[in-house]
Structure 1
Amino acid sequence: MPKLKTKSGAKKRFKITATGKVKVQQAGKRHGMIKRTTKFIRNARGTTVLADADARIIKKNFLPNG
């Protein structure tokens, strides 16, 4: 069976933590900040951890060697 390749778009967007969780940048901060509330912008700083159901998809299909 051939080796499984990592999706190159996924390796730029996701990181696997030491405990096996998937870290990702907060969404919704690329453009259109004028219509967003200050609270939304403040809460969308930094990174977040994906939900278990989404993390399972990422680890199985996109980052098999992660």
Structure 2
Amino acid sequence: MLTFLLWILLLVIAPPLALLALVLYPLVWLLLLPFRIVGIAVDGVLKLIWAVVTLPARVLGWRG
């Protein structure tokens, strides 16, 4: 909601810049999408490694 209000304010102050932002936002989102997917995959791999490393301690009764 705050983003929308800021965009409306920008539309009132500088309409060409607001329209440019409106057009470029989906393009930037599409360009950054692969990095988000890689980040999710790396997070999953790191959690898997952490689970494998701490498995012996959890089997022996460590509560973490």
TM over 0.5, shorter chain = no
Give the TM-score normalised by structure 2: 0.29
More strand per residue:
1
RCO (CA 8 Å, sep 6+): is it higher in 1 or 2? 1
Give the TM-score normalised by structure 1: 0.29
More helix per residue:
2
